[in-house]
Structure 1
């Protein structure tokens, strides 16, 4: 399994996506990350392990604390891959905008009700 495969597999779970959303705001402890969820702290730790193995987060050692944070390189790899498809879709939307503008210009103007003569 490639690192990109591991990243997308990790993102398949909504809890892990929510954890990444939280970590996008800044690093946090497991306790802080577990607070909004109705699952146990060990379950959160397992989700964090999957994210770390996928290269999306990392653990910083600060004495006895082990705060987690986003790993920019891992997220950048996903962004690069998705960026190719984003550019393709943007080109398609630009073409569709041109077609729709042409249709709008070709359509007869409608007179609002009550203003007909």
Structure 2
């Protein structure tokens, strides 16, 4: 007896999510343990005059973590989930503004 094709495909997807979750956890542990020296990029002060001085950017590490996050937890990155998070953030900002303005909400 063999498994239906859809179950085999779903099992492969679940295993990919588990692998990405394990990689994300290992990356987070390694970057924290190394004092966040992994994944940083040196920004030359001559290349960007407006920044003031030399600094390190963690953009490569953040891009890699975001990609692993999308692969490990795809249900958090659906259009519906993104819209719900955005609406919740907007509602929280309106509530905060209403408290500052004395309780009046538009």
Superposition TM-score tier, normalisation by shorter sequence:
0.3 to 0.5
State TM-score, norm by structure 1. 0.32
Considering fraction of residues, name the structure with more helix. Answer: 2
Higher gyration radius (CA): 1
State the TM-score, normalizing by the size of structure 2: 0.34
